[in-house]
Every structure is written in structure tokens, then in C-alpha cells.
Structure 1
Amino acid sequence: MSSPIPTGIKLRKASRTLELEYADGTRFSLPAEFLRVHSPSAEVQGHGQPILQTGKQNVALVGLEPAGNYALKLVFDDGHDSGLYSWDYLYRLGQDQDRLWQEYLDRLRRAGASRDPDVSVVRILP
């Protein structure tokens, strides 16, 4: 069974969030950074091995476009616009937001990387 289609979609530029509302009352508020680092694009997902996105803390959504009746194309201010976020994928992101975000933060920590685009981390090996 596929996930529900949003009945309301709002891009909140000031708060850098995408708000999704569903007929059953479910609501998700997804931050631009979260959406950017979880883009379904090949650039982010790689070929079976996701590519860790760093320095995206200040990224903003600047636009969105419907992609047929099944997805949204999100446009970010860093130029990324190649991911098509299907209704199923957006719903899963909303449902699993806390877990996915923590996994992302853990991956950054393990890689010695940062969300901040103005920070470069250098690891000294013993």
C-alpha cells in the first residue's frame, strides 16, 4: 500500500521548512537541511552507498514544483535540484525524521565532518 498524498503543501522560506498536511490530520514539518541531506538524487544516494552531505546547515529551499502526480522537485539555494521526492518518500521522511536525523548526525561525527559550511575538520592520524 502506498503512502497518502498530501492535502496541503507549504514552503515556509523564513523558517526554511516544508510543511506537509494529510487528510487524516498527520502533519510533518521538514527542515530544508534535513531534506537536502536526504535527497533521493543519485548525487546524494550514490549507487547503493549514500554520499555523506556536509556543510548544509544553512541551506534553504527556494522553490518546489510538482512532478506529475507522484512527487515534488525541490530546489535548494546551493543549486541542488535533481531529486524527485515521491509522496511515499516524503511520508517516510516525515515518519522517520527523528531516527534519520540522528543517524545523519552520527555519520557526520564518525566522519569527523561538520554541518557548518564554514568549518573544515582535519583529522590527525596517529
Structure 2
Amino acid sequence: MAGLQAGSPTPEDITVHNASRVLEISFSDGASFRIPFELLRVCSPSAEVQGHGPGQETVQTGKRHVDLVAIEPVGNYAVQPTFSDGHNTGLYTWDYLYLLGSQQDKLWQDYFAQLEAAGVKRDDPMPEKAGGHCASH
């Protein structure tokens, strides 16, 4: 995953809201987003979710009530969250967080279409293997 693009907005404030399960993030260009933990988790940039190439993505289910238990900075370009289901391998660059925040409506539509295509429900437990995809960046 690439680091920051030159001139990209950088976070000025990141707040974890555990009660409402959202990550609030304000950027240097004035944009501010409230990204649900579920969206962060189902669109994790990790190989576990995205696969190692096109068509290898794994649809994520049962993440509606996932919590964010920790979030660690990675250099000056990303954060690495740990979710309550144990997932902690995704590195979320500032650019990717901005994309998640600014494209939420499309990402939710894509996620629901992905669930339907895989023949699974949002709250189903995770299957052993399932196909699907999330946002490419």
C-alpha cells in the first residue's frame, strides 16, 4: 500500500467513539468524517480481506457490532487498528481513511451488493471461505 501522495490532506484529529462505534477523523483540508467501525473492518486493506490479487477478496460478515479496541500510529502515514474480533493486520493510510470517509455511501452499496452476490447476510458468522470485494484504491 502506498504512503501519502504529495499534497494529500493529513489528519489533524482522530477520535474513537466506542459507544456509537465510529472513528471521527478531521483532515487538514477541513474535511471531517465519521467512519463506522463496521465499514473500517469490512473494508480492511489487509491481505486477509483484500486477498493477494483480483478475485481473491473475502467478503466479511458478522461485523455490525465489532469494536475498535486499540489504534496504533504507524510512522507519519497510517494507523493500525485492532478490532474486537482479533483482526489487526490492516494498515490504514491517511489517503485510505480519506477515501473511506468520503466514499461511504458507495462503499456501503458495494458491500451490500457483495453480500448479495455471495449469498450471505450482513450478520451471518464468517464462513470458512467466501468470495467478494471491497473498494479498490
Q: Same fold by TM (over 0.5)?
A: yes
Match of 2:44 among 35, 39, 45: 39
In the alignment, which of 107, 116, 122 is matched to residue 123 of structure 2? 116
By relative contact order (CA 8 Å, sep 6+), the higher-ranking structure is 2
Does residue 101 (structure 1) correspond to residue 101 (structure 2)? The answer is no
Q: Distance in 1 between matches of 2:49 and 2:24?
A: 22
Counterpart contact for 1:58–1:116, Cα < 8 Å = no
Shift of 1:23: 2.6
1:41-64 Cα offsets, whole Å, 9 max, x none, are 010010123211111111111110
Give the percent of matched residue pairs that are identical in Structure 1 and Structure 2.
55
Letter of the structure 2 residue corresponding to residue 40 of structure 1 = P
Distance in 1 (CA, whole Å) between partners of 2:25 and 2:93 is: 13
SS at match of 2:100: helix
Q: Match of 1:61?
A: 68
Secondary structure of the corresponding residue to residue 82 of structure 2: strand
Distance verdict in 2 for CA 1:43–1:119, change over 3 Å: closer
Q: How many residues end up aligned between the 2 structures?
A: 120
TM-score (norm 2): 0.81
CA 1:119/1:87 → structure 2, altered by over 3 Å: closer, same or farther? Answer: closer
Structure ID, larger Rg: 1
Which consecutive residues of structure 2, in runs of 5 or more, have no partner in the other structure?
128-137
Pairwise CA distance, 1:117:
4.0
TM-score normalised over the length of structure 1: 0.88
Unaligned stretches of 5+ in structure 1? 121-126
Moved over 2 A (4+): 117-120
